[in-house]
Amino acid sequence: MRADNAFIEFESDIEGSFPEIYELNIVSGGCHIYGYLLQPDKRNEGPYPTVIMSHGFPGYTTNNDLELALMRTGCVVIHMNHRGAWGSDGEYLFTNLKDDLIAIAKWAHNPAIADQYGIDTGNIFLVGHSMGGQSVLNAAKDLDFLKGVAALAPYDIGAAFRYHMEKDLFLMIETEGQCLKMNSASEVYENALINQQTLSILNRYEDLSKHNVLLVEASLDSVAPPDKMIKPLADKLSQINVSLTYEAIQSSHSFVGQRMKLTRIVARWIESVIS
């Protein structure tokens, strides 16, 4: 894996060697969730470090550019759509997100699957943006084999209620969530309200002590304000024995104007953890 190759392609593809994209159908909670797997050019020697991506709410802001860049560095990248999102079966609920990631990670860690796709089971990472950042931090505690977890401008449902941002949360569910399969915005909001302490990333800091952790702040973030959602977790982690890397990017919640900088941070962190 070479982080410097994030924006470098081979001069040309060679038959039998070029990168591949595979459609995936993985079962989580009895539901079929759909996505794809990117496998790097075979001129990169395998087995490959593997990154499992978790999209935000509802997933309009994709991370396809980051995924393809990580593939060019020599990583297998798995993109799955959570239950109830973008064609996947089931109903969308915040409490399902962690379980979806656990199912995907265990699927990737299976020796038969790892052999099929060239996955290095000793170097599996979770990377999530926004609500996906919350989800990867929550899932990490149940996945001892993870090499690391990266949360990019993570949203914290617990903080939304602590800082009286619940109206903003409900409005987000009601408007942006119209593309999701859900019984009602009220049911999804109720799921957040009832499970706010379980979902809160601030309550995960001790569970992260056995993992390498990357936190990336979007300093101009008005959706997941850093002082309310990412910095309190970073402060907690700095007080215990955690391998923590904290980066700040002067950008909005989606990092839309700083995607290359974000990519370099994630790629170099993965490379440093592996080495």
Residues forming a β-bridge with 245: 214
The residue assigned the tokens 């170097």 is 123
- Cβ-contact 131, 57 below 8 angstroms: yes
130/84 Cα distance (integer angstroms): 17
CATH code for the domain in which residue 24 is found: 3.40.50.1820
Entry pTM: 0.95
Q: Which of 241, 85, 223, 214 is nearest to 159 (CA)?
A: 223
66: helix, coil or strand? helix
Predicted confidence band of residue 205 (pLDDT cuts 50, 70, 90)? confident
Residue 3 carries which side chain, given as an amino acid letter?
Answer: A
Q: What is the token pair recorded at 76?
A: 């297998």
| Average pLDDT value for residue range 98-106 | 97
Which of 39-48, 52-61, 212-221 is predicted least confidently? 52-61
Question: Domain count of the chain?
Answer: 1
Domain assignment of residue 218, given as a range: 3-274
C-alpha pair distances (Å), 160 with each of 189, 210, 225, 230, 248: 12, 27, 10, 12, 21
> Pairing state of beta strands 20-28 and 31-39?
antiparallel
Query: Mean pLDDT in the chain?
Result: 95
| Average pLDDT value for residue range 33-54 | 96
| Average pLDDT value for residue range 251-271 | 97
* pLDDT tens column, 110-126: 999 999 999 999 999 99
pLDDT computed for residue 118 by the predictor: 97
pLDDT computed for residue 59 by the predictor: 81
The yes-or-no verdict on residue 61 having pLDDT over 90 is no
pLDDT computed for residue 136 by the predictor: 97
| Average pLDDT value for residue range 19-33 | 96
16/192 Cα distance (integer angstroms): 47
151/129 Cα distance (integer angstroms): 6
Predicted confidence band of residue 62 (pLDDT cuts 50, 70, 90)? confident
119/109 Cα distance (integer angstroms): 8
Predicted confidence band of residue 209 (pLDDT cuts 50, 70, 90)? confident
**Phi, psi torsion values for 252, nearest 5 degrees:** -85, 180
pLDDT computed for residue 194 by the predictor: 97
* pLDDT tens column, 159-187: 999 999 999 999 999 999 899 999 999 99
